[in-house]
């Protein structure tokens, strides 16, 4: 199947391709669940009067609520959140795009997360024997020493890399036709990446605006709804990220972001709680932005890609 572009690459996709590079984040993670054996499933099914092969059942090797285990998974969650916050989606599994001029800062922050993960895993290792003993008490006859490795230290890890998503240059000499096909495929992916970025920005802004406007305009038992400071702070963080990652592909979206930013500029959460007229004004202006965002969510841009018949 050959992929071709109906028209030349857009300025936005060219900017994206020139200023961004691919980044892949990977984790090695110890799986803490195990499927029960056939005999164990049959035994469990008997208590329900069921047949074993119609039952799916598993066991958990470690207590996921333990503070040391939660610390390990917390590092993973923070790392993933950071990676997403400084990057744009790309239509290839496991890959996102980061700014070329941000690579050094990205490297430094990822190294910090890597160090935090090592420390958290070491702390978990210090409690490993206690966790195994606890699991033995809780699992009863389902406990199996063979499920547990001697150590956890090498079973949790993270890595990152910057894979090339450009067509290999050597193909130009080896197979010009194949190189041209790869060039078109890559161009198509960057066109799609622009659409994915727009979609992600629209969806995030819509969610933030909808939440804040609903809290500002709504009432509980005749009293204004309570909202957290983060409802405003999250919008401010979005504005910064949009300014950093925006590829200037959608004038309407940029105008909406500017309009929304002007609405909440200088507005403090406590002022929204204390000043009813300010609260009403902000709610009204955000509702106007939301109505346009709703239209953008319905009328999403289509990819300008043709798939040639097989």
pLDDT digits over 50-79, tens only? Answer: 887 787 888 999 999 999 999 999 999 999
Tell me the backbone φ, ψ of residue 26, rounded to 5 degrees.
-130, 150
Q: Are the CB atoms for 155 and 149 separated by under 8 Å?
A: yes
Q: Does residue 275 share a domain with residue 156? A: no
For residue 146, what pLDDT band results from cuts at 50, 70 and 90?
very high
Q: What are the C-alpha distances in Å from 98 to residues 4, 115, 164, 196? A: 26, 22, 13, 14
The total number of residues shown for the chain amounts to 310
Q: Give pLDDT, residue 310.
A: 33
What is the average per-residue pLDDT within 19-34?
96
In a domain? residue 135? yes
Name residues whose C-beta falls within 8 Å of residue 95's C-beta, 6 or more positions apart in sequence. Answer: 22, 23, 24, 163, 165
182 found inside a domain: no
Burial class (CB in 10 A: 0-12, 13-18, 19+), 140: exposed
Work out the pLDDT band at 7, boundaries 50, 70, 90: low
The domain tally of the chain equals: 2
Phi, psi of 162 (to 5 degrees): -125, 80
pLDDT score at 5:
44
**Are residues 69 and 109 part of one domain?**
yes
In a domain, 63, yes or no: yes
Whether residue 105 is found in the same domain as residue 156: yes
- In this structure, the answer to whether residues 153 and 224 fall within a common structural domain is no
Tell me: the pLDDT tens digits for 271-283? 998 898 999 999 9
Q: Are residues 104 and 197 in the same domain?
A: no
Task: Establish if 108 belongs to a structural domain.
Answer: yes
Confidence of residue 226 (pLDDT cuts 50, 70, 90): confident
Q: Are residues 18 and 146 in the same domain?
A: yes
Residue 111 and residue 252 in one domain: no
Neighbours of 2 (CB within 10 A): 12
Q: Is residue 118 assigned to a domain?
A: yes
In-domain check, residue 172? no
Last residue of a domain, one of 161, 177, 201: 161
Domain-embedded: residue 184: no
Position 291 scores a pLDDT of 92
Q: Which residue did the predictor score with more confidence, 107 or 303?
A: 107
Domain identity same for 208 and 287 = yes
Instruction: Tell me the backbone φ, ψ of residue 99, rounded to 5 degrees.
Output: -65, 140
Do 199 and 135 have their domain in common? no
From 144, 161, 178, the end of a domain falls on: 161
Of 161, 183, 215, the residue that ends a domain is 161
Q: Which domain holds residue 254?
A: 193-307
User: pTM higher than 0.95, yes or no?
Assistant: no
Residues 226 and 146 in one domain: no
Instruction: Assess if residue 167 is contained within a domain.
Output: no
More confident residue, 162 or 1: 162
Q: Residue 3 has what pLDDT?
A: 47
Q: What is the rounded average pLDDT of the residues 125-134?
A: 96
The answer on pLDDT for 301 being more than 80 is no
Which residues lie below 8 Å from residue 90, measured CB to CB, with a gap of 6+?
Answer: 22, 96, 97, 165, 189, 193, 196
The mean-pLDDT minimum among 35-44, 109-118, 241-250 falls in 35-44
**Mean predicted confidence (pLDDT) in 75-84:** 97
For residue 136, the model assigns a pLDDT of 95
């Amino acid at each position: 199947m050959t992929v071709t572009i109906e028209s030349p690459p857009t300025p936005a996709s060219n900017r994206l391709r020139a200023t961004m590079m691919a980044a892949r984040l990977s984790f090695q993670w110890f799986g803490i669940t195990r499927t029960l054996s056939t005999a164990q499933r049959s035994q469990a099914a008997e208590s329900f009067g069921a047949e074993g092969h119609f039952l799916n059942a598993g066991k958990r090797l470690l207590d996921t609520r333990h503070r040391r285990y939660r610390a390990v998974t917390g590092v993973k969650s923070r790392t993933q959140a950071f990676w997403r916050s400084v990057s744009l989606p790309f239509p290839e599994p496991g890959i996102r795009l980061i700014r070329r001029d941000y690579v050094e800062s990205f490297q430094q922050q990822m190294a910090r997360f890597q160090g935090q993960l090592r420390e958290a895993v070491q702390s978990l290792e210090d409690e490993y024997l206690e966790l195994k003993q606890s699991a033995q008490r809780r699992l009863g006859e389902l406990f199996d020493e063979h499920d547990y490795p001697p150590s956890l230290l090498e079973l949790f890890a993270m890595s990152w890399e910057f894979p090339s998503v450009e067509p290999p240059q050597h193909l130009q000499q080896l197979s010009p036709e194949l190189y041209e096909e790869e060039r078109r495929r890559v161009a198509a992916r960057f066109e799609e990446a622009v659409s994915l970025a727009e979609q992600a920005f629209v969806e995030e802004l819509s969610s933030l605006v909808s939440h804040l406007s609903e809290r500002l305009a709504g009432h509980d038992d005749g009293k204004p709804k309570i909202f957290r400071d983060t409802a405003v702070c999250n919008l401010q963080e979005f504005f910064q990220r949009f300014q950093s990652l925006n590829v200037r592909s959608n004038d309407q979206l940029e105008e909406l972001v500017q309009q929304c930013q002007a609405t909440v500029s200088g507005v403090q959460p406590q002022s929204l709680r204390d000043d009813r007229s300010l609260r009403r004004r902000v709610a009204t202006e955000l509702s106007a932005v939301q109505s346009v965002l709703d239209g953008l969510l319905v009328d999403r841009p289509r990819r300008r890609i043709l798939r040639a018949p097989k």
